[in-house]
Amino acid sequence: MSKNEQLTDSMFYIMAALTRPRHGYGVMSQIEETSNGAVVIGPASMYTIIKKLLKNEWIYLYDDSDSRRKTYLLTEKGREVLDGDLQVRKLMIKLAEAGLKEAEE
């Protein structure tokens, strides 16, 4: 049981997208698509959070060869953090689902 560093929603979404190499703009688009427009992370949040994730060494600069695009990817540490957070999120979703179901009587 590692001390679980709890991620914010936005961090979680961005890290989930960065399980594959992607650049910032691509992450924004993907999150918007995957959530059917429910989750929108603008550039300000995006690049603020990328900076933080880099500092924490949860992601790293994967490719810089294209002058326009910077692609990032999760580090091993980042994958662990994401996975730990995922487990907590799943637990909490179960709690919410159970509660909502019970109330349907």
Partner DNA sequence: CGTCACTATATCGTTAAATGATATATCTAG
Partner DNA sequence: CTAGATATATCATTTAACGATATAGTGACG
3-state secondary structure 30-99: HHHHHCCCCCCCCHHHHHHHHHHHHHCCCEEEEECCCCCCCEEEECHHHHHHHHHHHHHHHHHHHHHHHH
Would you count residue 26 as binding DNA (CB under 7 A)? yes
User: How many chain residues interact with DNA (CB under 7 A)?
Assistant: 26
Q: Which residue among 15, 18, 50, 74 contacts DNA (CB under 7 A)?
A: 50
Q: Which residues of the shown chain bind a second copy in the complex (CB under 8 A)?
A: 1, 4, 6, 8-9, 12-13, 15-17, 19-20, 31, 34-36, 38-39, 74, 79, 82-84, 86, 88-93, 95-100, 102-103
